[in-house]
Structure 1
Amino acid sequence: MTDQTPMVPGPSESEPEDFPDDIDLDDDYDTEDEGEEDAGPPGPVNWYLLRADVLEKEWYALNRWVERLRRTYGLPASVIPPFWHRHDELVWELSALHLHWLCAYHPEQDGSAPFGWHRDFADARARLREWVAASGTRLDRDRPTRQTAWPGEEPPEPVEDVFVADRDRDFVDYVAAQVAERRAAEDAFYAGADVDPDTGEVLG
């Protein structure tokens, strides 16, 4: 779907007034650089491998689509909670569903593809309910998904609910932090520092 690089791994209709000005929020199919021919339906997005600038655009594209999806189908917070962006399991599930939708409704796709997407959408809703129930995220509050420590690992930090008054503000701040972290990992990589291949964190 977008330009990806294997070198630097790393961890709405209503939009806040300070959404970045350079984010294109108008075209879900705008996946090619200017001057490139349409290469057909988009390929998978690997969130670990996106460059910082591409990561930011993917976050806002997914956020816009999820907003549209929840309103179109009247989805409750038990399926898509406001703070889905803070839970990796929900991000990957929704990202896969978004890409499936883009492919199903791509002009080069055959006419029966949308029916297949709706069938898979039903399966995805069941998984989303399971992820949401397990994570404990709610309509007006959020908490990190609980982690189970394996033998020899340090026990995880206590998990507490955090009240969030402004979801859009939380999303903007969260994405900014993610992009800054990815950009720091890129800078460290190009500077010759050791970068964890699984998390993108700078070592040493």
Structure 2
Amino acid sequence: MEEQYAQHINDVLGEVPRPINWRNLPPEDLEHELLELNAWVDWLRHEYGLPAQIIPPMWHRHPELLWELSALRQHWLFSYDPQAKGNQALAWHHDFGLARERLHDWVTISGTRLDRDRPTRVTPWPGGEAEGWAEPDTTDRPVTERTEDFLAFVEEQIRARQQEQDATIQEIVNTDWSDRP
């Protein structure tokens, strides 16, 4: 009876929005969350008339923008949840103002624009980079087919995450468990 009640409450209220840790989402969740975030970002930029200096077309290619926009979306979901307190929408708009300033700063630092994009430059630390780390190619590229690029990005991310997951599983399978207590 208690389980049925808990399930009923969950069905009625839904899940509480939680922060998304992009580093460890399984491939299928990664795809879902990227598509949901993309739809929300598109709504946000239209709803608030945000220029490319705040949300550029290639935001998905810049982790700093992805994390910021993701946090903003989760905050919005929480603030507009039917169970949220009445002042949550006002709190979201306050935080949205601060987030717009950060987004502007991120866009300025990253170098992405309405008509061109390049990976965010990373300053290498002398003798402090991980083995195998390579400085990204920061060549400007024209922005032409944004939707096509986003879908290719999602596929790249899913493929990379699947390879990480497969490698972890293979490592576990190949572990010699006979030496373990």
TM-score, structure 1 length as denominator? 0.74
CA contact (8 A) 1:41 1:108 kept: no
* Structure 1: gaps spanning 5 or more residues: 1-35, 195-204
> Residues 148 and 193 of structure 1: is their aligned pair in 2 closer, same or farther, counting only changes over 3 Å?
farther
* Structure 2: gaps spanning 5 or more residues: 1-9, 174-181
Q: Which residue of 2 aligns with 1:18?
A: none
Tell me which structure has the larger Cα radius of gyration: 2
> 2: distance between equivalents of 1:172 and 1:140?
18
> 2: distance between equivalents of 1:193 and 1:138?
43
Q: 3-state DSSP class of the match of 1:191?
A: helix
Whether 1:149 aligns to 2:131 is no
Following superposition, the deviation at residue 43 of structure 1 comes to 1.2
Which AA in structure 2 matches 1:86? R
The correspondence of residues 160-199 of structure 1 with structure 2, limited to 5 A, is 160-192=139-171
Percentage identity across paired residues of the two chains: 48
The correspondence of residues 101-180 of structure 1 with structure 2, limited to 5 A, is 101-152=76-127, 153=129, 156-180=135-159
Q: Which residue of 2 aligns with 1:3?
A: none
Which AA in structure 1 matches 2:115? D
CA contact (8 A) 1:149 1:155 kept: no
Q: How many residues align?
A: 159
Q: 1:72 aligns with which of 25, 47, 54?
A: 47
Following superposition, the deviation at residue 93 of structure 1 comes to 0.3
> Residues 58 and 155 of structure 1: is their aligned pair in 2 closer, same or farther, counting only changes over 3 Å?
closer
Which one has a larger percent helix, Structure 1 or Structure 2? Answer: 2
Q: 3-state DSSP class of the match of 2:60?
A: helix
TM-score, structure 2 length as denominator? 0.83
Q: Which residue of 1 aligns with 2:56?
A: 81
Q: Which residue of 2 aligns with 1:46?
A: 21
CA contact (8 A) 1:143 1:160 kept: yes
Following superposition, the deviation at residue 185 of structure 1 comes to 1.1
Higher relative contact order (CA 8 A, sep 6+): 1
> 1: distance between equivalents of 2:96 and 2:30?
25
Following superposition, the deviation at residue 110 of structure 1 comes to 1.1
CA contact (8 A) 1:87 1:144 kept: yes
Moved over 6 A (4+): none
CA contact (8 A) 1:93 1:128 kept: yes
